[in-house]
Structure 1
Amino acid sequence: MTDLIARPDADEEGRGEGNLGAPAGNGSDAPPPVEWAPAQAAPRKKRTALWIGLPVGATVTALIAASLVLIAPGASVAGVPVGGLTAGQAADAISARLAETTVVLNGPDGSYEVLGADLGANVDARALADAAFAENPMWNPSTWYPGSADAAVTIDEAAATAALQTAAPELYVDPVDAAVTFDPAAATYAVTPAVDGEGVDLAAVQTTLQEAFDQGLTTTSLEVTSVPVAALATTDEATAAVATLNGMLDTVGFYVGDERTVPVDRATAASWLTVTDDGGDFTFTADPALIQASVDALPAAVNRDPVNATVITDSAGKVLLEQVQGVTGRAIESTDAIAASFAEQLGSGNAAYPLTVSETPFQTAATERRLEVNLSTQMTYLYENDQVLYAWASSTGLPGTSTQPGNFRIGWKTPLQDMGCFDGAPYCTENVPWVAYFNGDQGFHGAYWHNNFGHVMSHGCVNLPVASAKFLYDWAPKGTEVSVHY
């Protein structure tokens, strides 16, 4: 039930509150009417603690969450404070400190400054930051204020050299690269040796930067030490390139099989090539347009008709002599794209270009040859393909030194010989021409000392007129069959 209290009424003109029991303004003796009004509402309970507690709780939660990703207070890497930072923030701070570290080089002619960033200085900042967090997380108070961790610093040699040369050019003497040149007089490639230069000792610069970074210094200095600076293109590298190039000139040409069918002049081949040195990496390139002139001449140099072979055989078909060597006909199939293909091949160091040709085989014509000596008729017959080519009167051995019958083959031959001219010999005949032995010391030869052919006259050989002996000597190759009979 709502509590009610009495309150005096006010007059129409608002004269203010009246006193309980006082006469009414209307002059009536009745007491004034009493109005009942609700009692004043009780004040609401204060909830200050609840409203204050919500943001505080959120803050605590945030702090707990942050402690899971932040590095403990007091941690540092190479003098760079990383406490209270995330690993990513710590990595950025470490890299920035290294980049901003100044190295002062004191040389004989003055001092020079370069920044770590100029030297291409680098440290694995993220790995160091991750390690710092792993070892010193904020959520573990026992790891707070752990001290400083060292970090390995490297520099980029190319960037460092360029920065130092720019800052202090007088501290450098440029090296001279080895060179490869073609000597037209000798038609060969030659080496110009490299010459070392001088420069700042990069190892000393790196050590000084490392020490400064370890100590948390933003500026450091060192006394300049000169060291030899090797040429990018060394003598050994140029020598190796020259060996390859000269080997190419030794073999350059267009080949059919193993035959260098079209050799290329050394100076011409060298004119096709350009040798490029990329810091000691010698490479070769060839110009297809310059090669094209040689390619255009290939058909005339390569194409040929077949040449048929002619051979001399015995009666069984065994080849005794190849009179004309057979030559296979050939024709180059196409010269399209040869220049470009050869240029690419030369770039790899191979100067022997294989040609694709179509071939036409040669034919072989065989001629059978044999000799016959008839002791009864004192005749010598030359047979070719089983037909008598020539028949000559001849003189065989006298009784006591008769020519022996049998089947033999031409063996040793000599165009001129003294016969029987030794101590104890029964005779001596000098300068006997066109001798072709077939049975030991019995053979055909010319006889200039008599003209009694058709009768026995010799010491066992078959005497022929000199002209006939010369023809037989040339006609009958070694191995020609000889039949001696009655």
Structure 2
Amino acid sequence: MDNYSSSQRKRVSRARQRQEKRRTRREARHDAMATLQEESVSRIRQTPLNDLNLQPVSRNLGQAVTYARDTVWHLINRSPLLKLIPLVIIAILGIVWLVSQFSGQIPPNVWAMGVPLGGRSLEEAQAALLEKWANEEINIRLDGETFARVAPSELGLQLDAEAIVAEAQEQGIAGIPFGVSIEPVVSINAGTTQAYLLNQIDAVYIPPYDAGFAWENDRLISMSGTPSRELDVSATLDLIQFDPLAIYEKGQLDLQTNQTAPSSFDATPYVDAAYRLINNGLILTGYDPFIDEYKQWGTNKNYLTQMLAVGPAGLALREDRFQDLINVVNGELAQSEQPRYLEFDEAQLAVEEAITSGESEANVRIRYLPHEYVVESGDRGYSIARKNGMPFTLIEQANTDIDLDVLSVGDVITIPSRDAVVPFEPILGKRIVVDLDRKWLVGFENGEIAFDWQISTGMPQAPTSPGIFQILSKTEEAVGSSSDLCNSNGVCGQWRMEYFMGIYDVAENLTNGFHGIVHLANGGLLGDGAVGAQNTYGCVMSTQANSEFLYQWANEGTVVEIISSEFAPQSDLGRQAMSYMDTLFQST
């Protein structure tokens, strides 16, 4: 108890001491203020009124100034709260930092891509960034103008939202008070970027424009050539790879391009030649050797003008405009029972040769596409080949996945292009027609019957194929053989044929054709040299004199039309030959 009382007395004594000190300080401060006021009044009294530059001041205002001054002094010198403010701020910042570190949230006042991330969880922050990314657009520019607007991902740009959020989380109190912005982490998927650029090649491409011509008030004038515009995929890809972030932040990509010079820039020296050609007109004539038909197509003056250009050697065709014409022609030819067409390169060459030579007509061959055949009741591979005028071996080659000996009604097989059996340019003005049923041959020259005679054809087990063929080869003497001429030891005899002209291949190294008498291995003649029977191994045999004449008359490329009850005449000359033979056989 004594100790407690002693301690209590000591605390009271110290409290009184503190109170005394505060009273002493107040009195000293009061005395100092009184002295200051007296000195100020004394100075004012000693100063002339004119030098004081006095202004009327409200008493209330003076009191307010005095009160404000005293308040500031007390806050600075006496208030313990003000001294605690820095500590409070530091404590708050520390709490913010600890919360950001251990709560899994982004610190306040942190931004990225214009998206506020502060206070969000890591997952929420990533989702917000990815949503913003999905709605962004890159302006693809070409020659200073907008070419397309695409999402960054379509261009191959990739956003690493996880890395951005991780950096945002590390900012701590850096965002206070002014905020902090995190730079986006953008990379590139080169494969996606390249694929996008490759898909734009055709859209960007403008072909070089060779110098050409146009009409101005009935006067033909020259048009200057211009270079091409071609997308430089490699340079554009390099540009994106160099700084994908800059592409994203700018929101713009300028496609890089190359140029190719035209064949010519000035058409002025060729205006007169072009004028003559355009006024004379140009006709494109197509010839179909299978049906012996000519078809013609022309153009008007304006279209022909658009087709003409100046190439390295002078007047030439503008390919894109000529292609448009060929497309129209092929659209018409495709309507045939067996679809036909003009081959662009052949037609272009023919027209340019006509232009160079100053002719007003260009001749080109009409070609055939493969077509489908639907199997009917009773069809077999060989019968389908004969019905379509095609050697069986070609049908086999076009249908390797089908057993032509086992067919069902409705099966679809491919019939090769007729051009396969007429590979050479046809000789115009000559045609040989062979009737397998009547065993008769008729030769036409310039549309008129020039000769005819009886022939022999293939025996039933080795029949002659009907169809449209042509003379492929010529040799005055050829040899042949057959399994029928082989003995038990496998040694096969051969026969010799004079004035042989091959017309179609039966198999590898085996060709059927025209020939004269056949010298057999035993020294005799096939059919004793007579004609009018089915006794050959697939060839068409004439007498010695007739075969020699035919050999001298026909050229390689001469068209041969072999008709039968299975394959009707295809050309007007074939039908004329049939009518002629009808009359001939009726009279006999």
TM-score by length of 2: 0.28
TM-score by length of 1: 0.32
The structure with the larger Rg is 1
Which structure's residues are more often strand, by fraction? 1
